[in-house]
Structure 1
């Protein structure tokens, strides 16, 4: 808005105009209102795009699979882990999940694996399989992957021990204690209440994988 002083001159160095009050306010056209609005908007902070705090920052996730179907060792069949995001990896230490690309380290990278196929394989033992999803940062995921590389494929009956070694003390797994039993590990993970979702079948896993999580947003 242009402010007029008592002498009829435009503030900030405008030219005098003694009959401005006699003429009354000059109508403002719709074009001028539009231009003013665009100029004002260009100077306002872009809260939605620059702050982004309401939506949060999109992150990937780490998933722990616990197969607690009955076995010769009780409700302790197998434990595995996979990470999605830009550089996904599936790790099946001391497991028997077969895939043409899996190596001695029992790992699959990138598009070489399907989380749904991995779950289907575990469900052949029975329905007692749980996949828990945890929000993790790229730095935390990098540390887990480094540990996976260091540990390798694992030995006989060491799947859960290896997984706890890979995740313990990192991010949401800060209080995970090393142990050898899938059921005990899954009980730990449930009681920590740090997971952002869980799945027990292929359909619920697909939903869990499709749901993008954001730091700073509600779970």
Structure 2
């Protein structure tokens, strides 16, 4: 079952003076983006209530995707985040990755989303894409999901700002500072030295995804 973010995409409240970058044109065949309203969301089951996490069951990790391929305003194309596990979510704020089940909140909930497809789509811009994996607890993941719901789809060129708002201060991201720039965020994440793996292509991402955490493991 897929659950869409309940928030509509907010209108941009202006552009920053110097923190701007161009996401660039995409040349890919995408499924039609469907915008589901509040009424449709209300008919979907409450996410997570039916998923108990007993000791020993597999839990997720949090992955931050930084697309730092060249754009008109520097090496700053896009930032996204996803949590893989028994209650997964993919969030592409202010992005143009499309899935027919995505609502205007730019979040896709449920087991049908493909992290590999998301990375493959970002690689259409060029090879400079990095996915960093961070171990997070179920409580930390729940807080990130809550912030994703609260922030919604984001405004014009706010992908990295929104991602930093969603993760900053939580678990391994406690020292992450807000930035509008994908390259600056990725530099922060690298310098924290708290990621447990990284991927730059689909094969290495599959390897990361196969190393599932278990509840009770050292986080």
TM-score (ref. length: structure 2): 0.72
The DSSP-based 3-state class of the residue aligned with 1:208 is helix
Q: 1:190 maps to what in 2?
A: 190
Distance 1:57 1:98, change over 3 A: closer
Q: 2:103 maps to what in 1?
A: 103
- Residue 164 (structure 1) aligned with residue 164 (structure 2): yes
The RMSD of aligned alpha carbons is: 1.8
In the TM superposition, what are the counterparts of 1:34-183 in structure 2 within 5 Å?
A: 59-183=59-183
| Superposition deviation, residue 171 in structure 1 | 0.3
Higher RCO structure, 1 or 2 (CA under 8 Å, sep 6+) = 2
Q: Which has the higher helix share?
A: 1
CA distance in 1, matches of 2:136, 2:119: 21
Contact kept? 1:89, 1:109, Cα under 8 Å: yes
Can you give the 5+ residue segments of structure 1 that lack an aligned partner in the other structure? 1-51
User: Which structure has the greater CA radius of gyration?
Assistant: 1
Q: 2:46 maps to what in 1?
A: none
Residues 170-193 of structure 1, C-alpha deviation per residue, up to 9 Å, x if partnerless? 000000000000000000000000
Instruction: Give the count of matched residue pairs.
Output: 165
Q: 2:211 maps to what in 1?
A: 211
CA distance in 1, matches of 2:198, 2:177: 20
TM-score (ref. length: structure 1): 0.72
CA distance in 1, matches of 2:108, 2:58: 24
Distance 1:140 1:111, change over 3 A: same
| Superposition deviation, residue 72 in structure 1 | 1.1
| Superposition deviation, residue 212 in structure 1 | 2.0
The DSSP-based 3-state class of the residue aligned with 1:186 is helix
